[in-house]
Amino acid sequence: MSILQNLIPHHFLTFCVGKLASSKNKTLKNILIRIFIKLYKPDLSLAKLKRPEDYKTYNDFFIRELEDFVRPLDSSINAVCSPVDGSIVDYGLIDSGQLIQAKRFKYELTDLMGDPVLTEELDGGVFITIYLAPTDYHRIHCPLAGKIIKSNHMGDSLFSVNLDAQTSIPSLYIKNERASMVIQSRGFSYGLVAVGASIVGSIVPFWEKKDLKKRSSFKESWNNGPKEDSKMVGKGQELAYFKMGSTVILLFPKVAKLNIDSLYQNKTVKFGERLAEIESD
């Protein structure tokens, strides 16, 4: 599987699909959207725009917004909400600065986040990895209120992140393009990493208002981060979106005392619901 992944021209394929997905040709984009609906059967009753004809491009359909209040937000002070719709593929302890991929491969947190200081702070804490399937809602939201103190963009590859790839490609998450945030909250800092994948056009941060075309422009935007007046983020606030499906990894330090007993592999989660809980002293 890993040999085949290396042979696939992921960047070229992503470029070609990106051109199709951003086309405003009504006939083409309606065909693409209807094919997607037939294959994956997304629940469009939850979306603000209900009909394929209402979207300007396939991309607009893919990153469709939900109707207000269809994802109730757990506002309890100790609740860490799921930032996305998806399924739990991994979770556990951050041990000696290492995480586990698909219960098989270990990889370094410093390589994932690019921050050795944060790695030290997170050691002994917990990680939660959530995979977004193509049919899932593809906007990423804040799981716990705080202040963005760092953001960056790393990696070059665009391997698939499906289950086969996770179990066959070592260090998959640190090979792929990814964008990360460090958010300071309630006396500790936690990390959120959005991992790109094959066919993922880009990972777009909430502070970017321009319609960027080049991947280098998205990298620059992530590395610059939000302006000072946009750094405070509330629970449930939109942080970014994927133009195609991928993975989100949450990283919490030991001091957060995060209880993840309710998690299990392949558990389906929805944005806004309680994912884990901070245990009070």
d(CA 180, CA 160): 19
With a CB cutoff of 8 Å and minimum separation 6, the contacts of 61 are 29, 33, 36, 52, 55
Sheet holding 126-131, edge to edge: 232-233, 146-154, 178-185, 188-195, 247-252, 126-131, 86-93, 268-269
d(CA 80, CA 84): 12
- Identify the active-site residue in 10, 85, 160, 202: 85
Question: Among residues 172, 207, 208, 170, which one has the least CA distance to residue 193?
Answer: 172
- For the question of residue 141 being annotated catalytic, the response is yes
Residue whose tokens read 């490609």: 169
Q: How far is CA 174 from CA 10, 177, 179, 204, 239, in A?
A: 16, 8, 11, 19, 21
Sheet holding 238-242, edge to edge: 139-141, 238-242, 203-205
d(CA 117, CA 149): 13
- Identify the active-site residue in 82, 90, 136, 141: 141
Q: Which residues are known to be catalytic?
A: 85, 141, 246
